[in-house]
Chain A
Amino acid sequence: MIEVRWHGRGGQGAKTASHVLAVAYLKEDKSVQAFPEYGPERSGAPMLAYTRVDDRPIRRHCAVTQPDVVVVLDPSLTREVPVTSGLKSEGRILLNVVDAGEAGEVARTYPGQVLGVSADQLAKEAGTRFPNVVLLGAYAGWVGTPSLAHMEEALIEVMGHLPAKAKDASVRAMAAGYAAGERGRANG
């Protein structure tokens, strides 16, 4: 089983990202679960969402306490929230960074793999303001699954209600993230 924890701020799309990843893995015949952690819901407040993926049916409904992968949607969160808490030491953390130094700071204390991606910048270049789609692409490129094609299909399904222009921008942003993730994988 792979367990992913998403750190975001209310309104940034962490819940949507957890769901898109689940739908993409479903397309690869996996058993999936996606759920946010609900508390007092405020725009901008730190929040958590989770994705579980397995080859066997997922039955447990308890919290994810020792994730394999952590994805951080907002650069400022690493200073506010213990983002590596419980993260398996042989796991990985994917960070939205403003500059590469931020990823280095996390890498100093966390023994697993660390990848920083300028998700805000890449999103902006693609014509969207949401870093979640960039990080979904980066996840696929870095982890190696699910495929970019399945991730795109999942994105379009989940965001089916958006106008075509927004969907196109999201697909471009996801592709840019995927390329950044692949580079991260090549660099080990």
Chain B
Amino acid sequence: MAKTMLGVEVLTGGEATAHAMRQIRPDVVPIYPITPQTPIIQTFSRFVADGKVDTVLLQVESEHSAMSAAVGAALAGARTMTATASQGLALMVEIIYIASGLRAPIVMAVGNRALSAPINIHGDHSDGMLARDSGAVQIYAENAQEAYDLMVMAPRIAEHPAVLLPVLVGQDGFSVTHSAENVALLRDEEVQDFVGPYEIPYPLLGGRPSSQGLFAMPDAYYEIKVRQILALEAAEQVFADTARAYALRFGRHLGAIEPYRMDDAERAIVLIGSTAGTAKDVVDELRERGEKVGLVVLRLFRPFPHQALADALGGVARVAVLDRATAPGTFPPLFADIRAGYQGSAELRSYVYGLGGRDTAPQDIEKVYAELRQPAKGGIRYLGLTGEDQHGES
């Protein structure tokens, strides 16, 4: 194992992601900067300028153009990556749908951030959820190490012949993108070997003439879309296989979900992203006091691992699903997904937290576990509101 690893460094999630990109050596990276993704592209651009990687950097005039260039490059036969956040991801969404439909296996890092208005640069998952139905695989990291590991895993998932879809690797804005932590990088050649060469069935520059981006009439569109949906569903197995291969080789297993102290849990929280670390600390504290609480962290959001989640919830009695995004007018996305696919006996409750970078302290998580002892109040609970707004919970 020691041979595959370099020493531990203090890196932000953004820097760690840029290192993964340098080691993957993408052929083309179209970029447009936006906070809090900027440190990814800034660090990667420095690697290119210093000759540490020979990627073609395309500086374009908008995220819409960045994603459009990425589609062209990926279909031409170039391994293509990019990164964005928030309004940038919003502007890309039109073209992410096209990338999925054209089966362009682009890997992109997302520094998850709130959407305007009001303008806010801080972390939540609203941007990722806007791209929810774009047909792309979506993975979320808990910390800088996971942001790195998942980025190294991403090309194998995106480019797998059964998948051939874009992959979005999310990390919470600032709390991961800008937080420096212990990160163990792999050796460059280990990453390159794990990722392998870029191969797609019909590269435009591959010597086998093909036409792509065609018009599809009612007699063909439907079949093409269903095949695309099945490909995204296939990504669940490919993700599991890739995670297993990564664990065998490098010793870190990042499954679609991570159950934490769930074995005999009676009350559980399900959430995505960096708050998982805070919640793990709270679970440990409550367990020391004899409370049977557990946590399920979701890394793979699309395709949604319904069965794995149901298995992890097991015989738990009450579950609080914490969403860092909303779906105004109905229940928020993670809760809605879980409720749609879950057939177990647990009572599910919906919470929203951390919008626009609102801090979620251990006490907030403790409050959720305490409320799970009480009868349900129904509706959506808004965690961490201040002042008179806290009485406005529905």
- Write the residues of chain A forming the contact surface with B, with a CB cutoff of 8 angstroms: 19, 22-23, 26, 31-36, 38, 57-63, 65
**Contact across chains for B8 and A26 when beta carbons are under 8 A apart:** yes
Output the nearest chain A residue to B278 by Cβ-Cβ distance: A60
* A34 and B362 in contact, given A61-B143, A61-B172, A61-B274 (Cβ under 8 angstroms): no
B179 at the interface (CB under 8 A from A): yes
**Contact across chains for B277 and A19 when beta carbons are under 8 A apart:** no
B281 at the interface (CB under 8 A from A): yes
Output the nearest chain A residue to B365 by Cβ-Cβ distance: A62
Question: Pick the contact of A26 from B10, B172, B178, B360 — CB < 8 Å?
Answer: B10
B359 at the interface (CB under 8 A from A): yes
**Contact across chains for B281 and A38 when beta carbons are under 8 A apart:** no
Residues of B within 8 A of A31 (CB): 181-182
* A59 and B121 in contact, given A19-B10, A26-B10 (Cβ under 8 angstroms): no
Q: Within the complex, what minimum Cβ distance (angstroms) separates A94 from chain B?
A: 21
Q: With the chains together, A58 CA to B183 CA distance in Å?
A: 12
Interface string of B360-387 (1 = CB under 8 A from A): 1110000000000000000000000000
**Contact across chains for A35 and B179 when beta carbons are under 8 A apart:** yes
Question: Pick the contact of B181 from A33, A36, A38, A65 — CB < 8 Å?
Answer: A33
Q: With the chains together, A18 CA to B174 CA distance in Å?
A: 15
Q: Count residues on chain B whose CB falls below 8 Å from chain A CBs.
A: 26
**Contact across chains for A59 and B278 when beta carbons are under 8 A apart:** yes
Which of A22, A31, A61 has most B Cβ within 10 Å?
Answer: A61
**Contact across chains for A34 and B275 when beta carbons are under 8 A apart:** no
- Write the residues of chain B forming the contact surface with A, with a CB cutoff of 8 angstroms: 8-10, 121-122, 143, 172, 174-176, 178-182, 274-278, 280-281, 359-362
Q: Within the complex, what minimum Cβ distance (angstroms) separates B252 from chain A?
A: 13
Question: Pick the contact of B361 from A19, A32, A35, A65 — CB < 8 Å?
Answer: A65
* A36 and B278 in contact, given A62-B360, A63-B359 (Cβ under 8 angstroms): no
* A59 and B281 in contact, given A22-B180, A26-B182, A34-B10 (Cβ under 8 angstroms): yes
Q: Within the complex, what minimum Cβ distance (angstroms) separates B363 from chain A?
A: 9
* A61 and B277 in contact, given A22-B10, A32-B10, A38-B122 (Cβ under 8 angstroms): yes
Q: With the chains together, A152 CA to B121 CA distance in Å?
A: 34
Residues of A within 8 A of B181 (CB): 31-34, 58
Q: With the chains together, A69 CA to B44 CA distance in Å?
A: 35
Residues of B within 8 A of A22 (CB): 10, 180
Residues of A within 8 A of B8 (CB): 26
Q: With the chains together, A31 CA to B144 CA distance in Å?
A: 13
Residues of A within 8 A of B362 (CB): 60, 62
Residues of B within 8 A of A34 (CB): 10, 179-181
Contacts beyond the supplied A59-B143, A62-B361, A63-B359: 16 A-B pairs with Cβ under 8 Å: A19-B10, A23-B10, A26-B8, A33-B180, A35-B178, A38-B121, A38-B174, A57-B182, A58-B182, A58-B277, A59-B281, A60-B281, A61-B175, A61-B274, A62-B359, A62-B362
Residues of B within 8 A of A61 (CB): 143, 172, 175-176, 179, 274-275, 277-278
Residues of A within 8 A of B178 (CB): 35-36, 38
Which of A36, A59, A65 has most B Cβ within 10 Å?
Answer: A59
13 chain-A/chain-B pairs, Cβ below 8 angstroms: A22-B10, A26-B10, A32-B180, A33-B179, A34-B180, A35-B175, A38-B122, A38-B178, A59-B143, A59-B277, A59-B278, A61-B143, A61-B277
Residues of B within 8 A of A33 (CB): 179-181
Q: Within the complex, what minimum Cβ distance (angstroms) separates A115 from chain B?
A: 26
Q: Within the complex, what minimum Cβ distance (angstroms) separates A29 from chain B?
A: 9
Which of B121, B143, B182 has most A Cβ within 10 Å?
Answer: B182
* A63 and B180 in contact, given A26-B8, A35-B174 (Cβ under 8 angstroms): no
Q: With the chains together, A26 CA to B167 CA distance in Å?
A: 33
**Contact across chains for B277 and A60 when beta carbons are under 8 A apart:** yes
Q: With the chains together, A146 CA to B189 CA distance in Å?
A: 34
Q: With the chains together, A35 CA to B10 CA distance in Å?
A: 11
Which of B9, B181, B182 has most A Cβ within 10 Å?
Answer: B181
Q: With the chains together, A39 CA to B180 CA distance in Å?
A: 18
Output the nearest chain A residue to B364 by Cβ-Cβ distance: A62
Q: With the chains together, A22 CA to B181 CA distance in Å?
A: 8
Q: Within the complex, what minimum Cβ distance (angstroms) separates A164 from chain B?
A: 20
Output the nearest chain B residue to A158 by Cβ-Cβ distance: B10
Q: With the chains together, A62 CA to B276 CA distance in Å?
A: 10
Q: With the chains together, A93 CA to B5 CA distance in Å?
A: 39
